[in-house]
Amino acid sequence: MTECEGENTLNPIIRTIEDHYKSLHRAALVEYEQKKAKIYELIPDIEKLDFKIKKLGTMYNRKILTGELDAEQAKRELDARISTLIAQKQALLVAHSYPKNYLTVKYTCSSCNDTGYVTSTDINYTDNGNQNSLIQTYSSSNKCHCYKQMMIDMIYQNANINLNGITGFENFSLDFYSKKSNYQKHASELSPYEKALEIKELCQQFVGSFSSNSMNLYFCGNTGVGKTHMAKCIAIELINKGYNVLYLSAPKLFDILSTQRFNFDNNESKNLYQRIMDVNLLIIDDLGTETETASKYAQFLTLLNNREVNNAVNVCRTIISTNISQNKLLYEQYSERIASRILGDFTQLKFIGTDIRLLKLMNNK
């Protein structure tokens, strides 16, 4: 995935965040101006002190420009005189039962003053052959910790993923998978533990080569054996790499596809439909639980076809998770064209074992 693709993926989120910070910053300044107007009316001497502070700044700038004072000396004198005036302001506020810091802008984040960015200044001293050194100043602006957290929260919200403590592959525990194989029950010589380990390694490879491979994944198996958990682990790993992800249950997906057919003039519906077609990773959970409709097969086939076409232009992979575990059942529940498409274009990973939720419940008891 190129840097440009990553930026395009996040553009709507970045615009939303930037607008949020502009609104926050503006609201803080409006509140400050309202408080200041109130104080100026109640305590006119504070307005006079503020006027003196402004005049001092202009006066010392003039002294620097005319050479009357050098910048360092001017700064020392200005800071001292302003500190005195600020102390007088604070004394007046306290005398009128206000906190001494009442006339300060109240930002929600003191690190970035509600701009989303923290500016740092680096000063380099370079020996120029004289007693004095040449001073070079560099300023850089970096995203604040609050900006980064908001971006993370919005990316996951945009992906429709409820984390529930999941943080990636390291959170996919093999502890609940038995190391005893049962060939007759699972039709596999591998134990549930060995099978889960194999699936985890394949999914890690899927993430590692996501931009170059053409693999889709089909997770099948009984309820509660880790299919949805693994899909979310993959989603989180890819989100952290800068890809866009969308997680939808099968009933929700088919509702959206049906809505788009009858509301093609609705921009919100159209945008969501397009996102389903274009998103880097689409996760369809619980396939087979959706309502039976006459148009279901055509809608699903159109979805698979469009994503295959889009994949030629942009990374476009799909993960399907379902309790429909046997190929025969897939053909019985869906049309032959869809079943053959899934079995032909998707790598089938079958999860085996005991319902992990029941095991956790038993352990808690």
CB contact at 8 A, 322 and 282: no
Q: What is the pLDDT of residue 131?
A: 43
Q: What is the mean pLDDT of residues 2-6?
A: 40
- The owner of tokens 């990374």 is 315
Could you say which DSSP state residue 259 is in? H
Q: What pLDDT does residue 177 have?
A: 85
- DSSP letter for each residue of 193-232: HHHHHHHHHHHHHHHHTTTT---EEEEEESTTSSHHHHHH
| Angstrom distance (rounded) from CA 135 to CA 130 | 13
Task: Report d(CA 314, CA 204) in Å as an integer.
Answer: 21
pLDDT for the residue numbered 290: 87
| Report field, pTM of the whole predicted structure over 0.75 | no
Residue 188 has pLDDT above 60, yes or no: no
Assign 86 a pLDDT band (cuts: 50, 70, 90).
very high
pLDDT the model gives residue 132: 45
Share of the chain above pLDDT 90, in %: 31
pLDDT confidence of residue 45: 95
98 φ, ψ to 5°? -110, 150
pLDDT of residue 184: 52
Task: State the average pLDDT over residues 154-176.
Answer: 75
pLDDT band at 3 (very low <50, low <70, confident <90, very high): very low
Q: In this structure, are strands 117-127 and 133-143 parallel, antiparallel, or unpaired?
A: antiparallel
pLDDT at position 123 is 52
Q: Which stretch of 68-72, 123-127, 253-257, 354-358 has the lowest confidence by average pLDDT?
A: 123-127
Q: What is the identity of the amino acid at 102?
A: Y
Strand boundaries in the chain, DSSP class E:
117-127, 133-143, 216-221, 245-249, 281-287, 317-322, 346-351
CA distance 30 to 339: 60
> Average pLDDT, whole number, for the chain?
82
Residue-level pLDDT at 298: 86
What is the pLDDT, as a whole number, of residue 218?
Answer: 93
For residues 291 and 138, give the distance between their C-alpha atoms in angstroms, rounded to a whole number: 61
- Indicate the pairing of strand 317-322 with strand 281-287: parallel
Task: pLDDT band for 1, please (50, 70, 90 cuts).
Answer: very low
Cα pseudo-dihedral 133, 134, 135, 136, rounded to 10: -150
Query: In this model, does residue 125 exceed pLDDT 70?
Result: no
Residue-level pLDDT at 5: 41
Residue 354 has pLDDT above 80, yes or no: yes
Q: Greater confidence, 108 or 263?
A: 108
Q: What is the pLDDT of residue 137?
A: 55
What confidence category does residue 357 fall into, taking pLDDT thresholds of 50, 70 and 90?
A: confident
As a whole number, mean pLDDT of residues 66-75 equals 82
32-62 pLDDT, tens per residue?
A: 999 999 999 999 999 999 999 888 888 888 8
Going by pLDDT thresholds of 50, 70 and 90, the confidence category of residue 136 is low
CA–CA distance, 332 with 221 (Å, rounded to integer)? 17
The segment with the largest mean pLDDT, out of 198-207, 334-343, 355-364, is 198-207
Q: What is the pLDDT of residue 138?
A: 58
Work out the average pLDDT over 263-290: 81
Eight-class DSSP state of 311: T
Q: Rounded mean pLDDT of 227-231?
A: 91
